[in-house]
Copies of this chain bind each other. A is one copy, B any other.
Amino acid sequence: LSTPSNTVADLGERAIIDLIRRRLPAAPSWILTGVGDDAAVVEPSRNRADVITTDALVDGIHFDRRFTPPAAVGHRAMAANLSDLAAMGAEPRVALLSLVLPATLAAADLEAIVDGLLALAAAHGVHLVGGNVTRSPGPLVIDVTAIGAVHHRRVLTRGGARPGDEVWVSGTIGAAAAGLQMLQAGVAATDDVQACMDAYLAPQPRLRLGSLLGRNRAASACVDLSDGLADGLAQLANASGLAIEVDREAVPLHPATRAWLAARTSDAVAVAAAGGDDYELLFTVSPRQRSRLRAVQPHLRGLTVTRIGRAVAGSGTWLTWPGGRERLGPGYEHFR
């Protein structure tokens, strides 16, 4: 179907839908109606609530096709949504894909986008059950809706933190923002550089961590860091009605991120915190529930979690060090 010169306009709507359908694995029996009808019909997961999220990636805003391969575009579109489900403690089940495609998009690029998206979906047991394909007189837009399930007493919200709770984060901070700068600068990919680039190109949604934190009631609140650490801290502090202090020295930067930022800024931690696209989880733990977090940790398959600070009465988010503190910036706002 796709030759090097083929565009999506050559294919047309029905061939595009067929191209996607051919790539779908067999649907489980709880998907009563999948792709191909007016809507999908899905049997709910017994005794659990539906968790629903949507996130769009726009060419020129959220990615640059000059250095983001199409498979990475598809991966990131799915990852952004699965990360939101992870932050609620939910297990993902189904997704819908809404594509707004410029007529000049190469058919091979569309195939790679769909392959990247479906590979991450398959890795997490997510089934594509529907969507929409339309033409764009402007940029490529990939809008994914993901639906998961969670027991309604195991939901992780942003608003459950209490003063005195510890503040924890998974993985490392700032690697995706550094990786994006490395890609933009065309840096040669050593192992360290590649780790940062991969953090940007192929972020891993922390579904296992989110689900374990919820099921074990280890966390009092949780948010994902799609817009970076500073934004996540502000969202959690605002929703919980308190302040958060972060120990500057405790923030886990990947060594390559630290080296990259140290050569370019006087405050690597603040810059890493302001960078977006970290799909890590930020969560709070009551000191009384610390043993529950310890019970979760052996099941994280190598993912580290790091205590970086504490929730306190008040408002705002702060970077602290022995003898001082300063306000953290508000983080990335998509629209500006």
Contact = CB atoms under 8 A, between A and B. Distances in A.
A62 B32 contact: no
Interface string A77-98: 0000001110110100010101
Interface string A16-50: 10000000000000001100111111111000011
The oligomer's copy count stands at 2
A223 B138 CA distance: 30
A145 interface: yes
A296 interface: no
B135 A61 contact: yes
Contacts of A60: 137
A114 interface: no
A38 B158 contact: yes
B52 A39 contact: yes
Contacts of A96: 52-54, 145
A117 to B, nearest CB: 15
A8 interface: yes
Contacts of A51: 39-42
A143 interface: yes
Interface stretch (A67-75, A257-265, A307-315, A328-336): A328-336
Contact of A56 (B38, B137, B143, B239): B143
A9 B41 contact: no
A113 interface: no
A8 B333 CA distance: 13
A36 to B, nearest CB: 7
Interface stretch (A126-134, A192-200, A286-294): A126-134
A292 to B, nearest CB: 21
A301 interface: no
B53 A39 contact: yes
Contacts of A224: 38
Contacts of A52: 39-42, 94, 96, 129-130, 145, 147
**3 nearest interchain CB pairs?**
A138-B138, A39-B53, A13-B335
